Structure 1
Amino acid sequence: MGATIINDADYAAHMDNIHHNPVKHGWATAVKVWPYSSFHRLVKMDVYLLNWVGLNLASFEVGEPDN
């Protein structure tokens, strides 16, 4: 079961998490060196900076809100 995206900030947090996963799991030393990522396309579209380093885990909240 996947998480429901609830707003733009939640979408951005999910995308950050996806792009940071190769670094988190030790498959890459930096997001920009993982060649299989949509990160590179988004850098070209000026969504991310090439030197983006990852997540601000203190503010990382994704998924459906608690009700």
Structure 2
Amino acid sequence: MSDYRRVRIPGAKYFFTVSLADRSSDLLVREVVHLRAAFAVTQRERPFWCDAIVVLPDHLHAVWTLPPGDADYLTRLGGLGGKFGES
């Protein structure tokens, strides 16, 4: 099992790369409308600022700024993935 070290600083900017399990898939660009909808719901439920995002066929890169006093980016990422998977 991996021993990940994750920095948690309230109100900080975080850079993410998130990949699909199937790296040959084009799901993210093919279903970008659903990705946007999942993103919007996640952002309403757990506010954050999206500084930048790049969506590629099999992965995405994003920079998010969390609200002051909040360092829970993992719940937001999980929520986004869950909501996108439901669509």
Bigger helix share: 1
Interval of TM-score (by shorter of Structure 1 and Structure 2): 0.3 to 0.5
Query: TM-score when scaled to structure 1?
Result: 0.32
Bigger strand share: 2
Query: TM-score when scaled to structure 2?
Result: 0.28
